[in-house]
């Protein structure tokens, strides 16, 4: 559970770090949005270092969590209700993440 929560925080930091520049560039937001965006992306990079698994495994598994959080973002921030196919895809990604992160391994 701790690993999943860390992935969740990592995904939120990355999405916020990318969403704020998008608001600035595409929606005419304030240039000051780039300051918290940079901080959020720095936090994202730091959070990736806290994962205990090998970096390649972390990046692969993180992708599944990122996709799921992005689908939630679509609904919560963009006000677009995910389709059942969005939810099925996110569920498959989370299942793949679980296989990658929690499979038994030799020490």
Note whether residue 9 is domain-resident. Answer: yes
Label residue 54 by pLDDT band (50, 70, 90): low
Helix axes 84-102, 55-76, angle to 10 degrees: 160
Considering the domain boundaries, does residue 82 fall inside one?
Answer: yes
In a domain, 37, yes or no: yes
Q: What is the pLDDT of residue 64?
A: 87
pLDDT of residue 59: 79
> Above 70 in pLDDT, residue 107?
no
Q: What is the DSSP letter of 98?
A: H
More confident residue, 80 or 64: 80
DSSP string, 47-93: HHHT-SS-HHHHHHHHHHHHHHHHHHHHHHTT--PPPHHHHHHHHHH
pTM for the predicted model, two decimal places: 0.79
Q: Please give the helix or strand (H or E) that residue 11 lies within, else none.
A: helix 2-27
Asked if 14 and 66 touch (Cβ cutoff 8 Å), the reply is yes
Domain carrying residue 43 = 2-102
Residue with tokens 């972390």: 58
Domain count within the chain:
1
Residue 79 belongs to some domain of the structure = yes
The mean pLDDT of 1-13, rounded to a whole number, is 86
- Residue 107 inside a domain? The answer is no
102 pLDDT band, cuts 50/70/90, is: confident
Please check whether residue 36 lies inside any domain of the structure. Answer: yes
């Amino acid at each position: 559970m701790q690993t999943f929560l860390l992935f969740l925080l990592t995904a939120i930091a990355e999405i916020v770090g990318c969403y704020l520049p998008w608001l600035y560039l595409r929606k005419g937001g304030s240039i000051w949005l780039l300051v918290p965006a940079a901080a959020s992306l720095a936090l994202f990079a730091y959070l990736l270092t806290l994962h205990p698994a090998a970096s390649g495994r972390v990046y692969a598994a993180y992708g599944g969590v990122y996709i799921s959080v992005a689908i939630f973002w679509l609904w919560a921030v963009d006000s677009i209700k995910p389709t059942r196919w969005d939810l099925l895809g996110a569920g498959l990604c989370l299942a793949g993440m679980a296989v990658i992160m929690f499979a038994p391994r030799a020490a």
